[in-house]
A and B are shown apart, each in its own frame.
Chain A
């Protein structure tokens, strides 16, 4: 489980405020889409075929019960009541509205979560076979060595 230091928590909240301002400026026309696109992608907000999509980081694929409840609350409050877990153990909300995303990010920050850098060349969760260490015919055990 990844625990935030005070610095991390303050930084995440700062980024939420920063993105709230960027969204407001995109809506009022101060920012063009070309200017806004890299800013939203840095905050995990994509525009896909049908709608916006917000990809949330789940470091190591591990969640506390409070974090999981908060994800459910976010889905019910600002999305259609569900999210999609990804093959890299993150979660994506696939029907958010642009105005709501800063509030979604604040709700994530309240439980030590964020969507920063879920787009682009960034550190990703690495997943492996769920039978790792148990399958008789595996070539290599991908789990980290136990000390």
Chain B
């Protein structure tokens, strides 16, 4: 039985706003996970994480997160799902932003 392919992406918090951001393919940090760059190659993930770590003037705590490649690119871990979708206890944060897009 084959397992779904795993992807990785780089997640962090914006230094000035504190909000969750994701590394995009052009090196920018974006707030929407849909704009993030996903890696199938672990070596590329490790390299991108090193590059993100050098961006300490813009972000705090960059880390690699796992995503499942099963149609949608969804975070595997609950913590990262919550970070991507916003607080679960109220309608604020990412949910409000998505409603205004």
> B15 near A98 (CB under 8 angstroms)?
yes
A125 to B80, CA, bound (A): 33
On chain B, the residues within 8 Å of A96 by CB distance are 18
Q: Quick one: given A32-B56, A49-B83, A50-B83, are A95 and B92 in contact (CB under 8 Å)?
A: yes
Q: Assess whether B57 is in contact with A29, with CB atoms less than 8 Å apart.
A: yes
Which of A27, A48, A52 is the most central at the interface, judged by chain B CB atoms within 10 Å of its CB? A52
Is A33 at the interface (CB under 8 A from chain B)? yes
The minimal Cβ–Cβ distance linking B23 to chain A, given in whole angstroms, is 17
A55 to chain B, nearest CB (A): 14
- A residues lining the B interface (CB < 8 Å): 26-27, 29, 32-33, 47-52, 80, 95-99
A-B contact number at CB 8 A:
48
* CB-defined contacts of B61 to chain A, threshold 8 Å: 33, 47
A51–B19 CB distance below 8 A: yes
Q: Is the interface of B mostly helix, strand, loop or mixed?
A: loop
A50 touches B56 (CB 8 A): no
Q: CB < 8 Å: which of A29, A50, A98 contacts B16?
A: A98
In the bound complex, do residue A50 and residue B60 qualify as a contact, i.e. CB atoms below 8 Å apart?
no
Sample of 12 further A-B pairs with CB below 8 A, known A26-B15, A50-B86, A97-B18? A27-B16, A33-B60, A33-B61, A47-B18, A49-B83, A49-B87, A50-B20, A52-B17, A95-B18, A95-B92, A98-B15, A98-B17
A33 cross-chain contacts in B, Cβ below 8 A: 56, 60-61
Contact yes or no, A50 B57, CB < 8 A: no
